[in-house]
Amino acid sequence: MGNGKTVCFPPFQDTDFAHIQSLNRNEGWTNLANDDMLTFSAWNNSNVRFVVCAENDVVGYIRSLTDKHVTLYI
């Protein structure tokens, strides 16, 4: 990154979920933040699931569904 921080994209783990919900709340995405069970289920049923980390902090995420035949561009 331009600010000198290192960014990594580890696969989603259940322990990341609280950080993801915090990001959702901060963005005002109440449909995700207000329903932990549904949002957690969505994460567990997505086939593309990564968190974005900078210096051990979760700062973003990538979640998607794909049919595995069309390229997914991020």
Least confident interval from 3-7, 32-36, 50-54: 3-7
Three-class SS of 21-40? HHHHHHHCCHHHHCCHHHHH
Q: What share of the chain is helix, strand, coil (3-state, %, to 5)?
A: 35, 25, 40
**Residue 37 belongs to a domain:** yes
**Residue 71 belongs to a domain:** no
**Residue 73 belongs to a domain:** no
pLDDT band at 49 (very low <50, low <70, confident <90, very high): very high
**Residue 1 belongs to a domain:** no
**Residue 56 belongs to a domain:** yes
Average pLDDT rounded to a whole number, residues 16-35: 96
The domain tally of the chain equals 1
pLDDT band at 68 (very low <50, low <70, confident <90, very high): confident
Range of the domain at 54: 7-64
* pLDDT score of 2 more than 70: no
**Residue 50 belongs to a domain:** yes
CA nearest to 58, candidates 27, 15, 28: 15
pTM of structure: 0.84
Quick one: pLDDT at residue 1? 59
